[in-house]
Amino acid sequence: MPPPRPESMLKSINPATLETVGQVPVTPPEAVGAIVASAQAAFPAWRHAGLKTRVAVLERARQLLLERSERFGRMITEEMGRPFAESMVMEMEASVDLLGYYTRKAPDFLGDRRVPLHNVFFKRRKSYIHFSPLGVLGVIAPWNWPVLIPLGFIAPGLLAGNAIVFKHSELTPLVAEELRRLFLDAGVPEAVFQTVHGGGEVGAALVDAKTERIFFTGSTEVGAKVMAHASRSLKKAVLELGGSDPAIVCDDADIDNASSGIVWGAFNNCGQNCNSVERVIVDASVAGRFMEAVVEKTKRLRLGDGMDPATDVGPLASEAQLKKTEAIVRTAQSRGGRLLCGGRRPAGMKGYFYEPTVIEWSRSNPAPADEELFAPVLYVTPSVGDGDAVRLANASCFGLAASVWTTDRRRGERIGREIESGTVMINDAIVSFGIAEAGWTGVKKSGVGWVHGEKGLDEMVNIQYVHSEPQLRTQKFWWFPYSGRMVRGMKAGMTFLFDRNMFRKITVLPAVLKHFTGYLLMNRRRKDKM
């Protein structure tokens, strides 16, 4: 087979140095259907290998991921720029933990679950929920958490017995191939976990192929297109989309603690998290002190190559992200936002660097809430009282995550319950996505379906209700033929079972006994004739 032509190779660029890290062959869109078909052919054997076998394979994958964690961490930093410290401390730790969580919990999550029946007519019946794999899953993942996000679909998907075709972002193709190598080395059959590479046309081909379900993480705009494509064949899609995540700082907040947490929540990963803190809504009584602390701490952040241990904030992941950030800051200033710090590219730095930026908005002109920043930019708006803060927090088409900062835990939880978001954190930010048990979802335009936790695994399976009658030769009184006597008997039975008036219950008891005794005798005579 001849080597791929140069123009058919996808290059991975280090955003800090602009050097080429590596390259992979682009998958022709017309080849995606055949790749999915090969996964379909491999699916039955993987399904019938049994959960015990699949758990053992994924346990090996977890151990390999632990042993290769530095290799993965370096690759994350080189491909998309986040500091190596973040790659290891945040992403790799959470990824290894996620694999361990699902391998431990898979027998409980995927085992048949008894459903007790309360109705007297069905008390003796066996009733349970059974979980079976769907088939081939299409996973489309972004570059900003290139290991943890796809693992949230791949690990439970494989454990449930599905085959997977995985398309990573074109910015992180080397991580995708490293993930595939990891699972193949652990024992996943080659056709059961496959990767495809390329841009939007390859992703569209995967959505249009004969996958059973699509798992997409990315922008709301692209997510809407994925859902539209999937709906053509009534294919379900799980979508983890964008946000404009608010942080409410109450008048009793520990300003030093809140400002440190929010600066970290806004600028880790260079602000390129779907659940980054983007809009701070701070009580006016403490706004001055809070903004002073935030600006001071933001100015101390050290920009640089992520492989330098002294780096706090790396580059943006691509030139497109850099240009978008510059446009965000220009637009904010033109709309009345006041630049407190940052707002420019640092001089003398070769890569896609941009200074962490804080912009103040007035209460009469609050921060825009319907635009996802996904950039090292933090908006701050003062508010008056908890009600005003919640109103500003909810004034968005998004509802992914939020945080509340207060020294009164009950107050924080009360405010949190009023925020329209899939996740709320009290006195912390972002970390809930790294908690394996924490089901992750969005409301409004921030998502459809669940990731992580038991609910995340439920998205990977067909949930089947099974109902078994132990009396194999007993005909039911509600079967044909119908009669007036049947209706009278059931009416009396409903009164006896459900009426709250004890006198009426006693009154209908003779009719109930007469009807159901006749039914039992009918079945006895039938059995005697057999």
The catalytic position among 274, 278, 355, 372 is 274
Cα 404 to Cα 426: distance, rounded to the nearest angstrom: 5
The catalytic position among 78, 240, 360, 372 is 240
274 is catalytic: yes
The token duo for 158 is 């494989």
Classify 179 as helix, strand or coil: helix
Q: Which helix (H) or strand (E) holds 360?
A: strand 357-360
Task: Tell me: cis bond preceding 15? Omega within 30 of 0 counts.
Answer: no
- CA atoms within 13 A of residue 87's CA, in its CB half-sphere: 28
Cα 143 to Cα 224: distance, rounded to the nearest angstrom: 19
Confirm if 163 and 42 have CB atoms less than 8 A apart.
yes
Cα 39 to Cα 73: distance, rounded to the nearest angstrom: 29
Angle among Cα 341, 343, 344 to the nearest 5 degrees reads 125
User: For 129, phi and psi rounded to 5 degrees?
Assistant: -100, 130
DSSP string of 63-121?
HHHHHTHHHHHHHHHHHH---HHHIIIIIIHHHHHHHHHHHHHHHHHHS-EE----SGG
Cα 33 to Cα 209: distance, rounded to the nearest angstrom: 5
The dihedral over CA atoms of 315, 318, 322, 325, expressed in degrees to the nearest 10, equals: -100
CA nearest 87: which of 96, 75, 98? 75
DSSP string of 460-473?
TEEEEEEEE-S-TT
H-type alpha helices, 314-468: 319-334, 385-394, 409-418, 453-458
Locate the DSSP E strands across 102-172. Answer: 113-114, 126-133, 136-140, 163-167
Confirm if 321 and 375 have CB atoms less than 8 A apart.
yes
397 is catalytic: no
Confirm if 213 and 174 have CB atoms less than 8 A apart.
no
Instruction: Write out the catalytic residue numbers.
Output: 240, 274
